[in-house]
Structure 1
């Protein structure tokens, strides 16, 4: 397993030490589960040696985890040519499901797994969230969530947690989207709404910034997994950043760090969704590239059907491969601006790598040479900074994957809470088309 998986807990857990028998038991159960998640199957003796727990303690913990169906025995391991055979165990939890969701400008994504990481649901649905307003967008998010929950239930898993990624400023503690400029959202209580809409589940809902979640996914299992100092950039209509410093996600005093797309780089430039002019995302966001490369399909023209980012980028990639001069010039322009903004991040945070996702990754072979050259030209430390752009291999689903991983880690942090949620039937009784999913008074105009 990667160093990122080893250190993931550092990014998502607090530093409170357990107190009392119940808390100590919870912490020890979590320690065993996390070891199995990071290292795969192990014998009880190996777990005791790796965790520092007494063998008798591990045996007692294992009995409880087996009873809760969170681990399973997978066979016999032999400790060399001499020695007693050891019965190995592995993380199970095939009956426990989690959902990671993302709502963005032009799509809703979902990533559903069981506790062991088996992928059960994976899709993106084209949807014009930018032009739909919060009520309709939240209705669509609820519809996608309910459909995915049905699939988890039919696969034999019981949903135990939901994570949602949103492109904007998020009050993580309260699950409120304070501001999502490109969606037109202000003070939307997303966690409480989704909990109410899916109330028969009785499971926690976590909301976070999409770039932060994607950065966590990259740190755990991406192309630069385990790199202690890195920046992740979303390549969407909006551009966000997840910043990891010394192996920890940088959130800032109020949890609003990473809004790199709103770095002011050209005061005389295009108007941004945030209301200001010349933000970085107006130069490098997907909307900027589409406007230059395929102006007849620019965002805001009301194209029907709604094109997802992959369809838009696929057309541009075909044009680049065929040598279309307009598209080549557009990508070169975006690449240079990407390098300029990247140099600001390198000067501020000195990361070892800038991982680019979304459309940046899809067009990496054309885009990144321009970006890297500009970055190296503008970074104050020059070659000493040793930072490079690399393309993510997680695709447009990085945020929903990260959201699911955060939920899994929350469950592993508290194994005693797993199994307390009520059972769920497929959602044939979910709110119908004439029943509002959200009270409009919950959302500020």
Structure 2
């Protein structure tokens, strides 16, 4: 019995054969993704599959437009060289994040190439949920069309939301800063785009953490926490290389850790949440008049606009802005120590506006963390600044679609067929 067919019994043979076929398609894609273009013979040798099996698998993946043949690959040994097989740039995915004051889009193809990346100012608090969903649908439609115009067929879309998300149902249970309650985002988008497009919805910090783990400053670090650093503060937690979701999928709401019982009221309705100490709104409040509301605030709610205002004031020696950042850094260390004591991560990745001011925030945050962690080894955890800015969650959203496709290539409709020319 061949190695790739071991364990198949006759009683449930058709079902088992289909399951094994899916597993082998995934195994082939994962190998190519991790190692780059390889000949069919090299894939067979590395995966333990028979050459004829690999040839059949590659043919099916080619039909699905998930791989393509490359130039001749020479192994350096005697014999006939084989064509390399690489991931195809013909299919891809879109990630969209809708937040309090912006919309971000990231589109990528299966090779990991960024095809679309943009962020626009958007005030999600003005108007009702229906208007936000209509705008979200419009952005999704235009982004999918742009991906298609650039020669990439979209197979899925993931939306990132700052709040509690039932990812299995695609429902936003609660997004306090948006004012959303029980919003069926996936179902609404499915009405427009139909069953051929896979649609997912998840917490923005979870998606950002996945993006960082896959290809950010902490790539390959299997124990990390990502902090969003926006008007609200969320966290994505990865332990042992896997995203921590919790019993109901709502883990990571670390912005609502109680850190000051006598503090300010949070958007969630409680008092003294960590978000009220380190969120962007708090920085703007502490920085003083003019930081939160510039002359064109109404027409330009983009967070980068307000961050630049604070940066200019710091460069000019404005003491209120300098003191505000020092206090934010102190509270970052305070809450970061709680996370280290709970999860023992190796890295805490600062996203959003935290990353913009990392040079001023990290020293104070690191000092606070060192003084409040219990285990001495936990002090090896360090803060780092994300390079993805305000598009991390959108990037992670696109990645989720492609990861799902890699794990089960048969779970997605065949991409529209066209000649598969070698590159």
How many angstroms apart in 2 are the aligned matches of 1:383 and 1:415? 42
Question: Does 2:50 match 1:78?
Answer: no
The answer for the alignment partner of 1:143 in structure 2 is: 138
Partner of 1:357: 351
Match of 1:394 in 2: 388
Q: CA deviation at 1:340?
A: 0.1
Asked whether the 8 Å contact 2:340–2:378 carries over to 1, the reply is: no
Find the aligned partners of 1:229 and 1:414 in 2 and give their Cα distance.
Answer: 26
1:327-359 Cα distance to aligned partner (Å, 9 max, x none): 110000000000000000001111111111111
Aligned-residue offset at 1:186: 0.4
Instruction: Give the TM-score normalised by the residue count of structure 2.
Output: 0.91
Query: Please, which moves more after superposition, 19-28 or 291-300?
Result: 291-300
Q: 2:106·2:117 contact (CA, 8 Å) conserved in 1?
A: yes
Q: Residues 384-423 of structure 1: CA distance to partner in whole angstroms, max 9, x if unpaired?
A: 5311001111111000000000001112222224444789
- Alignment of 1:404 with 2:383, yes or no, is no
1:203-282 pair list within 5 angstroms: 203-282=197-276
Distance 1:64 1:194 in 2: 30
Aligned match of 1:285: 279
Structure 1 residues 246, 417: closer, same or farther in 2, change over 3 A?
A: closer
Residues of 2 paired with 1:154 and 1:373: CA distance?
50
Which one of the candidate residues 15, 26, 31 is aligned to 1:30?
26
Residue 68 of structure 1 pairs with residue 64 of structure 2: yes
- Compute the displacement of 1:121 (Å): 1.6
For residue 81 of structure 1, report the CA deviation from its aligned partner.
Answer: 5.3
User: Which residue is equivalent to 1:114?
Assistant: 109
Q: How far apart are the structure 1 equivalents of 2:256 and 2:378?
A: 27
Residue matched to 2:93: 98
What is the root-mean-square deviation in Å for CA atoms of aligned residues? Answer: 2.1
Report the CA distance shift for 1:260/1:384 in structure 2 as closer, same or farther (over 3 A).
closer
For the residues of structure 2 that align with 1:336 and 1:301, how far apart are their CA atoms? Answer: 30
Within the candidate set 294, 302, 307, 1:308 is matched to 302
**Runs of 5+ unmatched residues, structure 1:** 1-17, 424-445
Q: Tell me, in whole angstroms, the C-alpha distance in 1 between the residues paired with 2:125 and 2:333.
A: 27
Q: Which moved more, 1:315-324 or 1:217-226?
A: 315-324
3-state SS of 1:242 partner: strand
In the alignment, which residue of structure 2 is the partner of 1:174?
169
Matched, 1:327 2:296: no
User: Are 1:341 and 2:335 an aligned pair?
Assistant: yes
Partner residue, 1:154: 149
Superposition deviation, residue 130 in structure 1: 2.4
SS at match of 2:349: strand
Whole-angstrom CA distance in 1 between matches of 2:336 and 2:237: 12
**SS at the partner of 1:63?**
helix
**5+ long unaligned stretches in structure 2:** 1-13, 418-423
Alignment equivalent of 1:368, drawn from 362, 367, 370 = 362
Partners in 2 of 1:250 and 1:305 — Cα distance? 38
What's the CA shift for 1:152? 1.6
What is the CA deviation profile of residues 246-277 of structure 1, one whole-angstrom value per residue up to 9, with x for unaligned ones?
Answer: 11111111000000000011122111110011
Query: Which residue matches 2:41?
Result: 45
| Contact 1:202–1:421 under 8 Å retained in 2 | no
